[in-house]
Amino acid sequence: MHRPVPDHRGPELPELLSEIVPGLKKIFQTTRGEIVLFPVSGTGGLESSIVNTLSAGDLVLAFNIGHFSHAYAETARSFGMQVDEVELPWGQGVPADLVHDRLIRDTARNYKAILVVHNETSTGVTSDVRAVREAINAAHHPALLLVDTVSSLASIEFLFDEWSVDVAVTGTQKGLMLPPGMAVVCAGPRAIAASGQVNTPRFFFDWRPVLDEMKRGYFPFTPATLMLYGLREAVRMLLEEGLPAVFGRHRKLAEGVRRAVRAWNLPILCRNAAEYSNSLTAVELPEGIDADKVLQLAQEELNLSLGGGLGQLKGRVIRIGHLGALNELEVLAMIAGTEMALQMVGIRIVPGMGVQACEEWFMQEHLAGRRVGSSR
């Protein structure tokens, strides 16, 4: 991305898009979805999924299972949709049976869409989108399935076609390993059809002119041109490593982090092992400990960036991210830094305990021939 800015009406653009668009489709694992790119961070892309598929007054089913799940619901609410937002304890995923339950009772077919955050990054929980789809199917319900894949795409398996997702949205700064600044939308045929029918006002986020211009390799606005070069490179790297290898790497690194957390004797916020996130682990701290103090010490004393609790979890958890271009030694350094910062606030941890547990797991995987290697 370190290069002169190209003319966004020049010949470089179609060339870039001709490689980026098919590459992104492979990453979304879709042939029926269309790619829409916006020069905006992920939140903007999510807004586009609402304003293009729903009209004011439409009923939407959402689940408040974390900060980003709630924000997605809020987005819809802001545009006048009626949001049936089921309140649940933070730390679990979207319950597919509850989805089924609601839809079955909706005999009038009022729900127009279901909002799911695939990987809720405020709690470290991955919802089972496949199960949600099956619940919808079982209920024979026509609601659209809109999925926030900001912190899952290119880290955790996501199958746009197989799960009949209608819209999936991601940003560039997570699994795509780039700076923030571009939203990547994958829109299926029913969602695109909706964009021509709904009456929600929109201009910048209107998919239609973008889809139109992108067919010719251009955009109806000034795109984040340098980002496109980075995006092409990211797509190349991911497809070269191979999606199964990318997912496997995240799975193994995440398990290493979880083993360290267990060695510290601290609870993982996500209670259900089947819903553990492979891109982020949220760790609950003991009563009386200010989690934000851990963050501050990690930053100031060790130059380590950890995530803090958002919303109702503020001050109560630390969040350890483990997605993107990451390898085992980087995870071990992060674990070491985290356990040092935890000790600094007075949590009793035998120095090295977490690293030891993590390293042992990585060695075990190596001996079993499951090499994680480096993503770089």
Touching a second copy, residues 296-315 (CB under 8 A): 299, 301-305, 307-308
Binding segment for a second copy (CB under 8 A), chosen from 6-14, 62-70, 135-143, 242-250, is: 6-14
Tell me the window of 38-46, 137-145, 186-194, 283-291 that interacts with a second copy (CB under 8 A). 38-46
338 token code pair: 């985290």
Closest approach of a second copy to the CB of residue 92, in Å: 24
Q: Which of helix, strand or coil describes residue 94?
A: coil
Q: Is 327 exposed, middle or buried (0-12, 13-18, 19+ CB in 10 A)?
A: middle
- Minimum Å gap between C-beta 170 and a second copy is 12
Q: Does 42 bind a second copy (CB under 8 A)?
A: yes
Q: Extract the tokens encoding 115.
A: 């909002």
Binders in 77-96 for a second copy, by CB under 8 A: 78-80
List, as one string, the DSSP characters of 244-294.
Answer: HHHHHHHHHHHHHHHHHHHHTT--BS---GGGB-SSEEEEEPPTT--HHHH
Determine which residue in the list 58, 275, 284, 359 makes contact with a second copy, applying CB under 8 A. 359
Enclosing H/E stretch for 299: helix 291-302
Q: How far is the CB of 339 from a second copy (least distance, A)?
A: 7
Count interface residues toward a second copy (CB under 8 A).
Answer: 79
Region near a second copy per CB under 8 A, out of 43-51, 89-97, 231-239, 283-291: 43-51
288 binds a second copy (CB under 8 A): no
Instruction: Give the one residue of 22, 84, 181, 315 binding a second copy; rule: CB under 8 A.
Output: 181
Binding range to a second copy, per CB under 8 A, among 92-100, 141-149, 247-255, 330-338: 330-338
Establish if 47 lies at the interface with a second copy (CB under 8 A): yes
Q: Is 112 exposed, middle or buried (0-12, 13-18, 19+ CB in 10 A)?
A: buried
> What does the alpha-carbon distance between residue 340 and residue 110 come to, in Å, rounded to a whole number?
52
Q: Which of 31, 97, 329, 346 binds a second copy (CB under 8 A)?
A: 329
When asked if residue 14 is in the footprint of a second copy (CB under 8 A), the reply is no
16 close to 218: Cβ distance less than 8 angstroms: no
Binder of a second copy out of 86, 330, 345, 347 (CB under 8 A): 330
CB of 187 to a second copy, least distance (A): 18
Q: Which of 25, 275, 31 is nearest to 154 (CA)?
A: 25
DSSP-assigned letters across all residues of 228-249: HHHHHHHHHHHHHH-HHHHHHH
Cβ-based nearer residue to a second copy, 160 or 229:
229
Both structure tokens of 137: 């199917």
Q: Which of 124, 223, 248, 309 is the binder for a second copy (CB under 8 A)?
A: 223
Binding positions for a second copy, 190-219, rule CB under 8 A: 200-204, 206
Rounded CA-CA distance 268/31 in Å is: 37
Around 89, how many Cα atoms within 13 Å sit in the side-chain half-sphere?
6
| Under rule CB under 8 A, residue 226 binds a second copy | yes
